[in-house]
Every structure is written in C-alpha cells, then in structure tokens.
Structure 1
Amino acid sequence: MVTQIAPLVIYHGTGCLDGFGSAYAAYCFFKKEQGVDAEYLAVAHGDVLNLEVGGRDIYIVDFSFKRDVLSGLCDKANKVVVLDHHESAQKELEGLDDLYSNLTVVFDMARSGAVITWEYFHQVPVPPLLANIQDRDLWQFRIPDSKHVNAALMSYPYEFELWDQFANCNDHLKTLIIEGRAINRFRDKMIETYKKKVIFGKIAGFTVPIVSCPNVITSELLSELAIGHPFAASYSDKGDKRGWSLRSTKEGENVASIAATFGGGGHPNAAGFGVSITGQTFEVLPE
C-alpha cells in the first residue's frame, strides 16, 4: 500500500482575510471533496522557512516566494502551484514556469487570492463570503455591506470549520453584517485617535506620514493618511521583527516597487515588507 504524502498549502498569514480565504478555498477541495488532510502553513514576507518538500504537491496561495526560493522548491517537490495576484510577485517570477515543467503559475490582478484559489479548485460559483473578502481586498466596495462583513469576520478565529458555517448560511452572513456595523463604528473612532499619533519620516527617500497602529485599522487609516503624500506607512513589532504596511492613492507612488526593495511586495497601492530589529533592547531603566 502506497502512503499518500499530504499536500502542503502555503498561504499569506498575518491576519489577512484574503490569505486565509485562499486557504479555506483549498480546504474545501482537499478535505470536503477529496477527503484529504492537507497541511496548511501561514507565512509572511521575511519568514525563514525550512520545509520538507521532497515529492510533495505544494500550493502557494495569495503569496509567493522570491525566485531563488521558488526554484529550490521546484527542484525538490513533485508539483508546485502558485495562485497569486500581487504585481511584485508576477514580475519576480516572470518566465520561471518555462524553466520548470512541474510549476504552474496563475496571476490575475483583477481577482483576489481567495477567488483565484476557489476558481482554480472548484467548478461551482464563488461563495458570497469570499466575494465579500475580494471586494475589500481589491478596495472596490461594490458589494453593499462588504465593509461590515469583513470587519466582523476579522473578530472571529481563523478556523476552517467556523468559516464553513459563514460561507454556507445566509443567516450567518446577515449576522456578520449586523456585528460589523458596531465594530466599524468603534474602528472609526480608533482611526481618528491614531491620526493624532502620526509623525513624518523618510522611507526609501520619501517623506511620508508614519504611524504605529493595530493591524485591524491599517488599510483604512493609511488610505486616508496617504492623500496628498507619496504614500503612508504603518508598522507593528513582533519579537525581533517589524512589519511595515504601505498604502498610496492612485496618484501616489507604486508601493509594491518600494516594498520589493526591502524584500517585500504587494500591489501598486497596497504593499508591505518586514525587517529585523535585532539588537534593540527591551530593557528600560530609570535615569
């Protein structure tokens, strides 16, 4: 009897709804349709990974690695599939699938990672939950109340079984809208509070507004702060790493290109990167 090696699904973590939505789309295929227990791994730009990939099928969703890292995966894995929509990643990997017969790359800037992944694995329409996630992730807001659906969804654990309930019951979706209205009312107050904490500094030579703020208000806050500036930036620390988020208006700078210079990536108007802050001390002494 041949033992099947579990597929590995690598997805954009750090609390990203689109990233986990992509993982959920894969889960619906592997677990619910195929009865296969895949392995799911959340990652962020700057993570150093030591993966056992020999002979495995690897799916990288709403995320991508640098060209040399992905080449290394292709050398060892049975199959590698990249499903992404970030402009910087598309440029980084251009032509690589011509060099590896076991590599499939799908990029589409008009769809979010979750929708790309769903439509790759499934023949049935995209669940409304994932359509709502795409609506915010692409900053379109064409679906009424998608802002509230996303806000409420962020307040719940990122668990496949729970999301399955949200995705398959209209009453649950209505509940998210009601909950999201209250959450956004509070978030709007938070945004006004953090606007007062802004300082100006230089990133990649550009003088921009910078603020340290919770991830739950990053996109909305920076989108407002970026008006009239090349872009706006926020940061948050976790251990010895600092994560940076960049947002710009359509008239502003291409922040994907800027993030790429730091080893990160993203979209022209929304990107991020991570840096090490090793060497800083957390010991505070009185004068």
Structure 2
Amino acid sequence: MIRLFEKRETFHQPTKDIVVLYHADCTDGFSAAWAAWKKFEDNADYIGINPGTQPLEGLKDKEIYMVDLVYQPQYIDGLIKENKKFVAIDHHFSNKDTFKLIPSDSLFDLNHSGAVLAWKYFHPEIKIPRFLEHVEDMDLWKFDLPKTKEIISYLDMVDLSFDEWSRVSEGVENESKFNEYITIGSLILNYQDKLIERIISNHAELVNFLGHEVYAVNSPVFNSQIANVLCEKLDRPLGIVWTAERDGTIHVSLRSIKNAGTDVSELAKKFKGGGGHKSSAGFSLPPGSKLPWTHVANGK
C-alpha cells in the first residue's frame, strides 16, 4: 500500500505540556527527536517542522525544545515570554546569531550534529550511541567512520518511528547485527548510485543562479548525494537539487565542496527562512513562485 505523508505541522498541534520541535524530513533532525524521546517518551509531543516557517499555533505555557533547528530571530522573544521554558539545540551556521537571543541553557555547536548535541543535552551522563555517531558522520559529510554510508542507507529503508530507531541503535551495538546492516546497506548503496547516475544524466540542467553557472536537478530523493555529484564530479562551485510539494511549495537544496567551494549558506539566506552550513544549505519558496534561476542556452 502507498502511504501519503502530510507535513506534520498541517495537522498536529501541540496538546502536551512538553513539546519537541525537530527538523522535518531530515535523518539528523529525527534522530535528535529520538534522543529527546529517550528522555521524555510519551510525555511530550514530537512535531517535525521545516526551517523558516512561522511558529505553530498553541505554543503557549509550554516547555519547548527545538532540536536541529530554531525559529527565526523575530519570533524568539515572544516564545520565551509566553512559555514556561524555551530551549534550542542546533548546529547550523546560519543560526549562530539567533542563539544570542536564547537563554544560556540552550546548546549550539558547529562541530556536532543536531542528534549528537541533543543526546549530550538530554543524556549528559550516558555515552553517545554508536548509531548517532554514524548519523553525525553523515550529516556533517565527514565519513570518517567506517561503513557510515552503509548504515545510513540501511536506516533509509526502515519506518520513521522511534521504536525502529531504537531497534537500529541496539543493533549497531551488536557486531552480528551491525554486519547484517552493512550487507543490506551496501546493496542499497549500489542501487542508489545507479539511480543517481540516471537522474543526473537525464535531468541535469545548466542554469544561472545568482551569477553562478551551475547544474540543477529536479528530484524528490537523494538531494545531498545528487548535489554533491553536480559540484564535485562536474567541476562546478555548487550543485542544486529542488522539488515541489503537492501544495506547490518548492524546496531547494544547495551543496558545495567542503572547505573549498562557495558558501551556500550565504546564498540561501537571500531567500526568506533560508540557511544552513557553508557547504550545505537550503531554502523554500511559497506556492506559485518562479524558480530563482534561468536556463543557460546550449547547456545540458
């Protein structure tokens, strides 16, 4: 059966005293929410939201934890005043200045992923799970740990639920299960590579984006992987992957070569609610918007 997923903020308003808001459609964001769930379990609401959106209705007299993202600066003061507690846990470069407005018990660190920071915050006396170290290794695009790509590929095929995240976390600590995940993940990776090659070959378009001649691809999947191929293997300052939701909202992902390419967070901030890291950023455009680039004649 095909399951149609709606954005959580369109139908889920907070009803419990504790509210955990996490970066939606993001492995690191959901893993950060899982870290919070390991502390609060069913005593909190867990709601995925997109960066750059307005605060949800019903955020009043709550204990709020934002993990792997934070609302825009103009909303922070009101959220602090109208709620019992407001904590933000994040690592995105573009949100650095926002944390100057947030109470000191929040946590911001460019050197860790949202998931690892959330674990450090909610479980300061407990060792960081090996599973989350792989999530961080992927999210920061380091790949310093062996078999991170295989583990994350395996994770991509499991249901998005805290129980499943717990199962995978426990399995990663067991060498037999770990090797099983690697075997499955390796098969998935090989298939993904073939799909990515086909997507780029058939859909990459040379465009002019804010003065940069780069490749853009329309794809709802593999945005990081595709965008990195567009800039690294095709020798461009950055790569663009975009997709449109059913309501017409356009999401744009930008990637550049780490420590060598264009600062895409600065480009993303030119659009309302946009931001991210120097080599990984994004923004969204409302329904009816035109794509913010032009086709380059004679480009593929």
TM-score (norm 1): 0.87
Cα deviation, residue 251, structure 1:
1.9
Residue 245 (1) aligns with residue 245 (2) = no
- In structure 1, give the amino acid aligned to 2:262: E
- In structure 2, give the amino acid aligned to 1:40: Y
Which position in structure 1 is the counterpart of 2:212?
A: 206
CA RMSD, aligned part only?
1.8
Q: How many residues align?
A: 266
- In structure 1, give the amino acid aligned to 2:252: W
Unmatched tracts of structure 2, length 5 or more: 1-14, 291-300
Which position in structure 1 is the counterpart of 2:81?
A: 75
Cα deviation, residue 94, structure 1:
4.5
Worse-superposed segment, 173-182 or 115-124 = 173-182
Worse-superposed segment, 176-185 or 42-51 = 42-51
Unmatched tracts of structure 1, length 5 or more: 281-287
Partner SS, residue 118 of structure 1: helix
Cα deviation, residue 54, structure 1:
1.7
Please list every run of at least 4 consecutive aligned residues from structure 1 whose deviation after the TM superposition is greater than 4 angstroms: none
Instruction: Say whether the 8 Å CA contact 1:19–1:62 is kept in structure 2.
Output: yes
Residue 229 (1) aligns with residue 246 (2) = no
Which position in structure 2 is the counterpart of 1:150?
A: 152
Partner SS, residue 126 of structure 2: coil
Partner SS, residue 106 of structure 2: strand
Instruction: Say whether the 8 Å CA contact 1:11–1:19 is kept in structure 2.
Output: yes
Which position in structure 2 is the counterpart of 1:283?
A: none
Instruction: Say whether the 8 Å CA contact 1:165–1:172 is kept in structure 2.
Output: no
Work out the CA distance in 2 between the residues paired with 1:167 and 1:193: 33
Match of 1:85 among 88, 91, 113: 91
Cα deviation, residue 173, structure 1:
3.4
- In structure 1, give the amino acid aligned to 2:22: Y
Identity percentage of aligned residues: 30
Work out the CA distance in 1 between the residues paired with 2:131 and 2:99: 31
Match of 1:270 among 268, 271, 280: 280
Residue 257 (1) aligns with residue 257 (2) = no
- In structure 1, give the amino acid aligned to 2:240: A
Which position in structure 2 is the counterpart of 1:177?
A: 182
Work out the CA distance in 2 between the residues paired with 1:106 and 1:42: 19
After superposition, the Cα gap between the structure-2 partners of 1:65 and 1:204, relative to the gap in structure 1 and judged at 3 Å, is farther
Match of 1:53 among 46, 59, 65: 59
